[in-house]
Amino acid sequence: MPKIALLTTGGTIAGMSSGDPHRDSEGHSVRGYRAGALSGRDLLEQVGGLEDIADIELEELAGIDSVEMNPGNWVDFAEHMFPYIERPDIDGIVLTHGTDTMAWTAMALAMQLQNPGKPIILTGAMLPPDQALDHVKLHLRASTYLAAHSGIDEVSVCFSGNPESTFTELYHAARVVKYAASAWNAFSNPIEEPLATFKGGKLTRNPKAPQRSEEGLPKLVKGFVPITQVTYVIGASPLPNNGNERGVLLDIPGRVGNNQRVYDYAFCALARGIPVAITGESGEYQNMPTEKELSLLRAGAAFMGRLNPHKAGVKLAWAIAQTRGDIFSTRTLMYKDIAGELAGLQLSPTYVGIRS
C-alpha cells in the first residue's frame, strides 16, 4: 500500500462551528466557525477512510487561520516537507491549508521544493467538517489518492471541480488562483486545463500534465524577504515609498512607460538598489519597449507580462532572498522558469534580452 505524509496547518478544513445560526445577506442560514480548531488527529478521525487508500503518516505543522500565514510559515513548511521528499518509503505528500492564502503558499512551496520527485498536494475546504463533511471528505480522499497514484511530481492544489462539489480537479501550484469567496469550486487555473480530474473513483490525467521524471535531484531552496506589492489604480493616492522596501512588485494597467508616476516610482527604487518586477501589458510578446521602459530595463527591472501578480510577488520575494538583493541577479532569476510559472506567458524576447 502507498504511504502518504499528511501534514496539517489548520484552516477551515480543520475548523469547528461556533455561535448560533444567523441569516446572511441573501437570507441563508449560516453559522460561524473557528478555523484550525481541530487537531490533525481529530480531522483524520472525522474524515475516516483514508487508511483504505494509503498508509498515513500524520504530522501537525500548525493550527491557524490561513490569513495569518506569512513567509516564515512557508519556510517552516518547506523545511518539514523536504525530509519526506527524501524518504523513499513516502510516495506523496498532502498539506491541508486554509483557502484564503492557499494559492500563495502553493507558489511559495513550488519555488522552494524543486524537483520533488513525488506529488505534493495542497487542499482545503470552504466550510468545516461539522457543516460540510462530504465536501471535506471529497477533498481529503481525492488528495490522498492523487498523491499516491497520479505520478504528477509537482506542487499542486486539489479542489472541487464543479459547483456541486461532486468531483475534484488538480491545479498547477504556479498558476492556480482562488477566484470565488464562497463557491464550492473556488479555485481554478485561468490559462490551462487542470492537471488531472478525479471523479467517481477514476483518475483522468491531462495528457499535457508533467510526466514523472528521474532527472534532477530534489532541492530545498528556501527563503523570502518582505516586499512591497502595489496594484496601481488610475487616480489613486501617491504610491508608497517609505524607504524600507527590500523589493517592489508593480501591477500596472496598460504600459508602465505611459505612466509618469509609476515610472518615477520604479526608477527611484532601482536607483536605490531595490529590485523591481512589473506585471501588466509591458513585457508581452507583441509589445516593443518604450523609451521609458528601456531605461527601466537597463536599470534592472524585470518585466513579467501577464504573470499573476500574486505569483510574481511570491517569486520576487523568494528571488531576492536567493540573490541577496542584487538587482540584475534577481532579474535573471525572475526570468528563469522555476516551477512552470512562466509557461504560456510569451514574454517578449526584446524585454528579456535587455542587459544593463
| CA gap 113, 220 in Å, rounded | 5
Residue 113 C-alpha cell reads as 521544493
Q: Where are the beta strands (DSSP E) in 200-327?
A: 202-205, 219-220, 228-231, 248-252, 276-280, 302-303
- Of 9, 101, 118, 178, the active-site residue reads 178
Residue 168 near residue 142, CB atoms below 8 Å: yes
DSSP string across 194-218:
-SEEEETTEEEE-TTSPPP---S--
Indicate the SS3 state at residue 156.
Answer: strand
Active site annotation includes 204: no
Burial 194-224 (b: 16+ CB within 10 A, else e): bbbbbeeeebebbeebeeeeeeeeeebebbb
Residue 144 near residue 53, CB atoms below 8 Å: yes
- Of 8, 91, 96, 100, the active-site residue reads 100
DSSP letter at 97 equals: -
- Of 8, 9, 12, 123, the active-site residue reads 12
- Evaluated on CA atoms 96, 310, 76, 70, the torsion sign reads negative
- Of 8, 9, 96, 99, the active-site residue reads 99
Active site annotation includes 99: yes
Residue 59 C-alpha cell reads as 504530522
Active site annotation includes 24: no
Catalytic annotation, residues: 12, 99-100, 178
